Amino acid sequence: MEDLLLYLTNGVFMGSTYALVALGVTLIVGIMGVINFAHGELYVLAGYFSALCSQALGFDPLSSMVVAVVLVFFFGLVIERILIRPTYGQEMYSLIITFILYIILQNAYLVVFGPYPNKPPNWVNGASDILGLFSYSNQRLASFAAAAAVIAVFMVVMRKTWFGRVIRSVAMDREMASLLGVNPERVNMLSFGLGCVLAACAGVILTPVFPVTPTVGVGISLTAFVVMILGGLGSLTGCIVGGLLLGIVENLGVAYISSGYKSLFGFLILILVLFFRPTGLFGQKRL
């Protein structure tokens, strides 16, 4: 029983970060109709920035994370303005451009940071006793709390604020929102930046546990797309549930079957869910 609870805890921890990355992908797809193949590279970039600020500049962990997220946000705005905006309405072009961007960024990371794993220092050390059943890393507990807090703030912004209502209005009917005075291009720009921020938050939260390498972004992007489809295209709630479900299934599969099939478990659960619910767990047409 202790082992099962440990695996479930690990699954919830990983699932929270999966959800965080997938929320960014869903936001960008839902608002702009853009599949950002380089989304995982923004996760990696934030991890490198965080490590660089901590190790080379001597920043404390919180300052390093904030600086990394802000830098990725502005980098996302530049990408949107220069590369994505000219392709609006041409989904295939935006897909090709973000694929090329993914290749360029991955090679740039290899040249600048080298092939070796890189990580910032842990926020906290040691381990905590969980209900007297097992010990669990304090860093993982802190990372999970941070991921849950970011997801909660994002959901409040999307559901309860004027900014969130504007984003959802553009997602539902771009022309009507424009007639009511909303600037769709500006909403697109901010939505893309916010999506990049979510990827960056996942990067700075998870990097102390799992160091970044130039190639780790591929797996992050694929996982985000799997979670997005699993939860249902356009569903923010589906991203959260899908991320947690995928994290738990992966960890139980690794623990009781084989770690060699870790990536396969995600696709199996995706196929199973889509067989019974082709629109995903919470599939809907609008955010």
DSSP symbols for 240-255 = HHHHHHHHHHHHHHHH
- Distance in angstroms (rounded) separating the CA atoms of residues 25 and 197: 11
pLDDT of residue 139: 92
- Distance in angstroms (rounded) separating the CA atoms of residues 24 and 39: 8
Least-confidence region, from 15-19, 150-154, 175-179: 175-179
Instruction: List Cα–Cα distances, 229 to 26, 137, 191, in angstroms.
Output: 9, 31, 20
Sequence-distant (≥ 6) Cβ neighbours of residue 88 within 8 angstroms: 32, 94, 188
pLDDT of residue 259: 75
Does residue 286 register a pLDDT over 70? no
pLDDT of residue 200: 94
The residue-averaged pLDDT of 107-133 equals 88
19/233: higher pLDDT = 19
Question: Which H or E element spans position 136?
Answer: strand 134-137
Does residue 79 register a pLDDT over 80? yes
The residue-averaged pLDDT of 114-127 equals 89
| Closest CA relative to residue 47, chosen from 61, 36, 33, 30 | 61
Residue 57's region, left for phi above 0, alpha for psi from -120 to 50, else beta, is alpha
pLDDT of residue 256: 86
Question: Which H or E element spans position 75?
Answer: helix 61-79
Does residue 287 register a pLDDT over 60? no
The two three-digit tokens of residue 207, written as one number: 């990097």
Side chain identity, residue 202: A
Question: Which burial class, exposed, middle or buried, applies to 179 when counting CB atoms under 10 A from its CB (0-12, 13-18, 19+)?
Answer: exposed
Does residue 206 register a pLDDT over 80? yes
pLDDT of residue 183: 84
Does residue 91 register a pLDDT over 90? no
- Distance in angstroms (rounded) separating the CA atoms of residues 253 and 266: 10
Does residue 78 register a pLDDT over 90? yes
Quickly list H helices, 161-279: 162-172, 174-179, 184-206, 216-231, 236-256, 262-276
What dihedral do alpha carbons 70, 76, 82, 85 form, nearest 10°?
-130
Does residue 85 register a pLDDT over 60? yes
pTM for the complete prediction?
0.89
- Distance in angstroms (rounded) separating the CA atoms of residues 205 and 43: 10
Question: Which H or E element spans position 143?
Answer: helix 138-160
pLDDT band at 284; cut points 50, 70, 90 = low
pLDDT of residue 281: 83
pLDDT band at 52; cut points 50, 70, 90 = very high
Confirm if 154 and 145 have CB atoms less than 8 A apart.
no
Give the percent of the chain with pLDDT over 90: 34
* Alpha-carbon dihedral sign for residues 252, 257, 261, 267: negative
Confirm if 59 and 53 have CB atoms less than 8 A apart.
yes
- Distance in angstroms (rounded) separating the CA atoms of residues 194 and 257: 38
Side chain identity, residue 164: G
pLDDT of residue 181: 79
Instruction: List Cα–Cα distances, 246 to 139, 147, 196, 264, 279, in angstroms.
Output: 21, 16, 22, 11, 17
* Residue-wise pLDDT tens digits, 262-271: 778 878 888 8
Does residue 76 register a pLDDT over 70? yes
- Distance in angstroms (rounded) separating the CA atoms of residues 281 and 242: 8
